[in-house]
Amino acid sequence: MKNSYLIKSAIIAALGGLLFGFDTAVISGTTEALENIYGLSKVSLGFTVAMALIGTIIGAMFSAKPADIYGRKNTLFIIGALYFISAIGSAMAWDWYSFLFFRLIGGLAVGAASVVSPLYIAEISPANMRGRLVAVTQFNIVLGVLMAFASNYIISGLDLGAIEWRWMFGVEAIPALLFFILLFLTPYSPRWLVRQNRIEEASATLKKLGMDDQAALEHVEEIQKSLDLEHHSLKESIFQKAYLKPVLLVIAISMFNQLSGINAIMYYAPMIFKMAGAGTESALLQTVAVGVVNLFFTMLAMTLIDHFGRRTLMLVGSFGYIISLSVVAWAFFTYGADFAAGNPNDGGMIVLISLGVFIASHAFGQGAVIWVFLSEIFPNRVRASGHAFGCFVHWFMAAAVSWSFPVIADISGAYAFTFYAVMMVFQLIWVIKVMPETKGVTLEGIQKKLGIA
């Protein structure tokens, strides 16, 4: 198969996304144990969950430089090692402070992976396959989330007692080690090789990735032109007038991604289902159902993103967000007293179905689009730093939303979901009025489309 090497390399790099998803979601099954063992208040629980997200902010901020200096591939090796250390350390934590430290390390890996995995895949992919291949990262994120939910549910049924939560964190070491080993089978990014003036290697890599001799030669020349090193530096800042348009675009899509409430729902899914009247085991099982819905609609979006485009998926997802979040808010306003009193009612099923629609909307829209969009909207010369900035905004908002959710939800779940619904109305307006379409356009062509010299 002509593109087998390309597809294999993309899948391996996207395993960074699988670990991203697993590490992000695994804590959802441990929040009650952590509260009890460490005597956490709602505020300190929110901080504990957000600690990994603080790590993601730092990881996203500082991943661009090593990705540019040492290469995307070598940076992925570092990320794999951090995931492994975090998994073992979190499982063996001896107190709350050591647990926070190892969760911070896991966050560093997640933040860096959110930048480097899709960036690497975008740079090895042809324009007509870029959306699908970068979306493999999102597929793996979702698969990782589902694996975490399923793993938590299985481990909870093993009657491991006080060490149950430790096993939930520790099993991540296995895929982390596998990811590290498989990276030896992948090439360096041809665009990074051109940046390093390793032209022959870049051309040879493009041929291995499926191009013929002439196409590889022309593509290398196009990359060199896009760098325009006579007028630009590879070390220049993205915060200048020339890059204002892509900077504003990544701020918007990254903020809206988290203002939907997606990470709050992923991190606190069992808590939300308990708030809606479910028991502990039922809440964990319902969380697995959410993961299955997420995976299915991510797979659907992957097959359509290069056909219908990024904007279409975002439009459909926005409508789904608004409807589902509004219904969840209504359910908490209507049945909140019954939920708190433990009285049987239809509200719990309404919440479950609506959150299923919400997850489907996210998976089909923002979830599939964001990592593709962030990886392609900046020019070659500043792509790593631009993508890192977008991920920084994303993770900063994720930390803020996840930290605040337990406090707000303790007052009223209805208020939290109403706020998220209103924010998604603003996202819909942004998609209709501002968001550009990038499907089928080369990375260098997108640069020209945005009017960047």
Domain boundaries along the sequence of the chain: 4-186+228-449
- CA dihedral angle for residue 157, residue 163, residue 169, residue 171, rounded to 10 degrees: -70
Residue 104 confidence (pLDDT)? 94
Predicted pLDDT of residue 428: 97
Q: Which CATH class is domain 4-186+228-449?
A: mainly alpha
Contact status, residue 57 vs residue 111, Cβ threshold 8 Å: yes
Helix (H) or strand (E) holding 340: helix 310-341
Contact (CB, 8 A) for 259 and 352 = no
pLDDT in tens, the chain (453 residues): 457 889 899 999 988 888 888 887 788 788 888 888 888 887 788 788 878 878 888 988 888 889 888 989 999 999 999 999 999 999 999 999 999 999 999 999 988 988 898 889 888 888 788 888 887 887 888 888 888 888 888 998 888 888 888 999 999 999 999 999 999 999 998 888 888 888 888 888 888 888 878 888 887 888 777 766 554 555 678 888 888 999 999 999 999 999 998 888 776 766 777 766 665 556 666 777 777 888 889 889 888 888 888 999 999 999 999 999 999 899 888 887 666 666 667 777 888 888 889 999 999 999 889 988 988 888 877 888 888 899 889 888 887 887 788 777 776 778 889 999 999 999 999 999 999 988 888 877 888 888 875
Question: Smallest Cα–Cα separation from 382: which of 264, 237, 248?
Answer: 237
| Amino acid, single-letter form, for residue 232 | H
| pLDDT for the residue numbered 270 | 67
SS3 per-residue string spanning 41-73: CHHHHHHHHHHHHHHHHHHHHHCHHHHHHCCHH
pLDDT of the residue at 352 = 82
Of 215, 127, 380, nearest to 205 by C-alpha is: 215
Number of other CB atoms surrounding residue 268 within 10 Å: 24
- Cβ atoms of residues 357 and 260 within 8 Å: no
pTM of the model: 0.75
